[in-house]
Amino acid sequence: MAEYQDREHYIPIRKSDLVELLCRGLAPKDADPFRQLSTLLAATFHFEYHHLLEELKNEYAPFNPDATTKTLRQLSQQERLEQLEHLFNRFVTLMERANFKRLGPQDFQKATKEVTEWGLNMDVDFGIFEKLAGFARGEYTAERSRRLWWKLWKKESIRMAVYQRLVLMVKLKPSKRLPRTVDTKDVFLKIFKDIPRMDAEMLLPGARMRMPNSSRLKLGGSFLGGLALITWKIVTELTAVIAGGIMFFWGPLLAVLGYGYRQYFGYQSTKNAVNLQLTTNLYYQNLDNNSGVLTHLLDEAEEQESREALLGYFYLWRYAGTQGWTASSLDDYVELELEKLANIKVDFEIEDALAKLERLHLVTKHGDRYAAVPIDRALENLDYAWDNYFKYNNEAQERKDQALAQRV
């Protein structure tokens, strides 16, 4: 079983596309039952994840900054602390199931010290966070172009590391860095797309802009040059000021004030331009916020569960025979087939896939070998599991049958 350091568990292909890909070489008598299996699997995972979503929404409700419903019972301070801790732990588990990797404090610290050619360098006070959790998935190298005036505007390509998806979960402390409108009792959830790794810090609350060195040099150089010019004028006209009275001093004084205003205006213009760039990036790269993030991520985790289970069952069913395969053999075969059929390189999460198939009684295990149950029986097992999610009708029918038997 191969292990890859440069591959992720995430399978970047839609479930419906995956089913059609796997059915390409099947005869209709096999393809139709497999499509039915896909439908039942999807319904099963959807039911389970809907239940998980309801639990997470209930746990997040006391911390949701966008809540519009009325709270009937206020949690005590101790209850809030316990529920907050439980919420963060459940969220970390959810991110793992959606195949995200957790970012450590060192990842954000590193980002504050670096800046891309298009990004911003920000000053972040990590002391304002009561809790901070970051997660990334789909790290890749992007190529972008730029033109520089000292190279006669010739286009050149720049390569940079980018997170395809970046998720933040933040609980803040009161701080002067935060707007007064921010309620630090809330928990903020954010999900972004295509964020340069070195610009991750610009998404953190309370981050303050550091003016780029080029802008600092430009403003500083202009200020020093202007100050030197004004000083020279004052010195050369000092005699005239002494001889002619205070009226001769107004010219240099107004020049100093005017130049100071010019420098201040230039700084504000540069700052506004940078803020506009930040606002534009967040507008187009923000995918969802707060409770919407839970729905977004659970939908992705549900899809991922279905893809893993479908791949595991399909290749055991079609190629492993009654003798079955070891987990290692299945893992290698799935990875090779995905690369051959769809040019997708993944690190297939074999343990998770087999655990799902065993739980749903779609495979049997003998020693260290796994074999798929026949597809007709697999459909029956899934149908039986679905029928027994709600047992009220079954129990009522059993009681009727027992009463009828007693009368007879």
User: pLDDT tens digits, residue range 59-93?
Assistant: 999 999 998 888 888 889 999 999 999 999 999 98
Task: Give the tokens for residue 300.
Answer: 């992705």
Most confident of 103-107, 174-178, 199-203, 307-311: 307-311
Q: How confident is the model at residue 408 (pLDDT cuts 50, 70, 90)?
A: very low
Return all residues near 300 (Cβ < 8 A) that are at least 6 apart: 98
Whether 158 shows a pLDDT value over 90: the answer reads: no
Give 237's pLDDT tier (boundaries 50, 70, 90): low
Contact 146, 117 (CB under 8 A): yes
Tens-place pLDDT, residues 173-232? 998 888 888 889 999 999 999 888 887 887 888 877 665 555 555 555 555 555 565 566
CA–CA gap between residue 29 and residue 41 (Å, rounded) = 19
Lowest model confidence (mean pLDDT) among 39-43, 163-167, 178-182: 178-182
Which of 92-96, 238-242, 268-272, 333-337 has the highest average model confidence (pLDDT)? 333-337
Region 141-151: mean pLDDT is 70
CB atoms within 10 A of CB 22: 21
Q: State the pLDDT at residue 157.
A: 78
Give the pLDDT of residue 31.
96
Please write the tens of the pLDDT for every residue from 246-300: 555 555 556 655 655 665 666 566 666 666 766 766 778 899 999 999 999 999 9
Contacting residues for 81 by C-beta, under 8 A, at least 6 apart: none
Q: pLDDT tier at 334 (50, 70, 90 boundaries)?
A: very high
Q: What is the pLDDT of residue 241?
A: 53
Contact between 316 and 324 (Cβ < 8 Å): yes
Predicted local confidence at residue 266, as pLDDT: 62
∠ Cα 376 378 382 (to 5°): 120
142 SS3 class: strand
Q: Are 360 and 381 in contact (CB under 8 A)?
A: yes
Q: Any idea what DSSP says for residue 248? A: G
| CA dist., res. 210 & res. 267, Å (int) | 12
pLDDT band with cut points at 50, 70 and 90 for residue 339: very high
Residues 6 or more apart in contact with residue 330 via CB below 8 angstroms: 312, 315, 316, 320, 350, 354, 370
Which of 20-29, 53-62, 265-274, 309-318 shows the lowest per-residue confidence on average (mean pLDDT)?
265-274
pTM for this structure? Answer: 0.76
Contact 121, 132 (CB under 8 A): no
Q: What mean pLDDT comes out for the span 127-141? A: 89
Mean pLDDT of the chain: 81
- The per-residue DSSP string of 164-216 comes to EEEEEEEEE---TTS-TT--TTSEEEEEEEEEEGGGGGGGSTT-EEEPPHHHH
Helix ranges (DSSP H) in 250-344: 250-285, 291-315, 327-342
Euclidean distance between CA atoms 277 and 261, whole angstroms: 24
The CA-to-CA distance between both ends of the chain, in Å, stands at 61
Query: How many whole angstroms from its chain centre is CA 113?
Result: 22
Q: How far apart are CA 255 and CA 338, in angstroms?
A: 71
Mean pLDDT of 340-364: 93
Tokens linked to 169: 């979960």
Sequence-ordered list of residues with C-beta below 8 angstroms from that of 165, at least 6 positions apart, any chain:
100, 136, 137, 138, 191, 192, 193, 287
Residue ranges of domains in the chain? 98-209, 213-271
Mean pLDDT score, 384-391: 81
Element (DSSP H or E) covering residue 138:
strand 129-147
Contact in structure between 295 and 15 (CB atoms under 8 Å): no
Task: Compute the C-alpha angle 311/352/16, nearest 5°.
Answer: 35
Nearest Cα to Cα of residue 363 among 324, 407, 337 = 324
